[in-house]
Amino acid sequence: MSADDTLGTGTGTFPYPAGPGGTVPPRYARLLAEDPVSRVRLADGAEIWLVTRDADVRTVLADPAFSRYRAAVLPGSGFGRGQGTGIVDLDAPRHTGLRAPVVAGFAPERVARWRPRIEAVADELLAGLAGAPGPVDLVAAYTAPYAGRIICELLGFDGDRWSVITGDIETLLLSGGSDGPGTAAVRDRLQGAFAGLLAARRARPADDVATVLLGLDEPASGGQHLTDGDRTTLLHGLVISGFIGVRDLLARHLYAVLAEPDRRERLAAKPDLVPGAVAELLRYYPSSNDGLLRVATRDVELSGVRVPAGAAVLPLISAACRDPRIVDRPDTLELDRTPVPVAAFGAGPHRCPALDLAVVQLTVGLGRLVATYPQVALAVAAEDVRHTSDLLPLGVAALPVRLGAAA
């Protein structure tokens, strides 16, 4: 590590600049090799510890010696500070009670029942793009409506309302919690939508997540103990993860495949490669660092370094997914690699409860695109695609492509 990265000596602040194509900061490789548990400063002056190796990241995420709640209520914002209301911000036992119905709502059997509907949504959207005269932006025309419609329907909303609901969610996120006259109206509309959904499901339960959160599934899986306030907070968070998370990560995966035409050709020719390719893409472009911060509640040793009680610790999943201790050639995207068991969906009590849904959506979203339009190609140079960090640092602003003829 160079002197200027070291806490207290100068200019190095976290986060670090991303690598080419929106990949993880090149500096992570150096941290993994030489300084796996390091103290850094954020731009606002706060001091945190970065943890990079797979085994240490899993310890921070899973060991009760690390509190998520104490990090969520730290002063400042970003990296999961200044929150403290969502499920991802809580510790046991409050967290455990809220999480059980969410896990049930996204259970593998439910996701398997949903798969035909997910495929149909992808196919309908792709069919609607046939014959487009010029370049098509796959974010606006495909990944956004795909993610938005699916999460809205799965929660229990009429899927045709997806753009209003997700638009309101995005407006509130971009407002950063500030309450202007415009945002108050948006917040009220969204609260009304969630209240309306809960009232509709109380009157007529259905095979959806809102019904599970109400405890009206059979047998009830814990939702009956929630308040309507809990349910609304959960639904709000689920729209954020289900819409923004899937829209942006799928767009990023499509970008990676289309940036090198032979990747797209191989996946179009061999659809069996798609599930493994998605596992590798999740390793190569995992989730953001947002919301991962923890606070050590006692002294803990990680990779031989003593992290003191009270320290704020950021387990960098995106670095751990490139830990050479668990993966060969970590910085190379190899779509036919035997899947590596990385922590892309977290570990421990907060491990993503919707990972089956996310994997199915990413697999279907990529697989149906290359099967339907085997010649699909970027309409701009790969270097000109802009990678975003507006909300969560894992998207592309737009992905202009030429679809070519449908298969």
Interface contacts to ligand HEM, rule CB under 6 A: 61, 87-88, 99, 102, 151, 237-238, 241-242, 245-246, 249, 286-287, 291-292, 317, 344-346, 350, 352-354, 357-358
Among 379, 310, 398, smallest CA distance to 135 is for 379
Residue 155 contacts by C-beta under 8 Å, 6 or more apart in sequence?
197, 208, 209, 210, 235, 238, 239, 242
Closest CB 317 distance from ligand HEM, rounded Å: 6
Q: Which is nearer to ligand HEM, 214 or 354 (CB)?
A: 354
Nearer to ligand HEM by Cβ, of 5 and 148: the residue is 148
Please give the single-letter amino acid code of residue 328: D
Task: Please state the closest distance from residue 346 (CB atom) to ligand HEM, in A.
Answer: 3
Q: How many CB atoms lie within 10 A of CB 388?
A: 17
Least CB distance from residue 224 to ligand HEM, whole Å? 19
Q: Considering beta carbons, is residue 82 or 374 the nearer one to ligand HEM?
A: 82
Nearest distance from C-beta of residue 175 to ligand HEM, angstroms: 22
Of 74 and 403, which CB lies nearer to ligand HEM in the complex structure?
74
Cα-based distances in Å from 383 to 67, 87, 256, 258, 312: 40, 37, 11, 12, 36
Of the candidates 200, 258, 225, the one whose C-alpha atom is nearest the C-alpha of residue 401 is 258
Q: How far is the CB of 274 from ligand HEM (least distance, A)?
A: 16
Q: How far is CA 317 from the centre of its chain?
A: 12
Closer by beta carbon to ligand HEM, 355 or else 379: 355
Q: How far is the CB of 86 from ligand HEM (least distance, A)?
A: 8
Task: Give the tokens for residue 109.
Answer: 């059997």
Closest by Cα among 193, 231, 227 to 209? 231
DSSP element (H, E) containing 396? strand 395-396
Cβ-based nearer residue to ligand HEM, 81 or 350? 350
- Write the CA distances from 59 to 14, 24, 245, integer angstroms: 22, 21, 24
Amino acid at 256: A
Identify the three-state secondary structure at position 18.
coil
Residue 284 beta carbon to ligand HEM: minimum distance, rounded to whole angstroms: 12
CA distances (Å), origin 397, targets 87, 207, 261, 283, 377: 28, 34, 21, 21, 17
Instruction: Name the β-bridge partners of 377.
Output: 402
Q: Return the number of the residue (14 or 345) whose C-beta is nearest ligand HEM.
A: 345
Q: Are 252 and 22 in contact (CB under 8 A)?
A: yes
Q: Measured from the CB of residue 199, what is the shortest distance to ligand HEM in angstroms?
A: 22
Q: How far is the CB of 145 from ligand HEM (least distance, A)?
A: 15
Nearer to ligand HEM, 396 or 403 (CB): 396
CB nearer ligand HEM, residue 215 or residue 245: 245
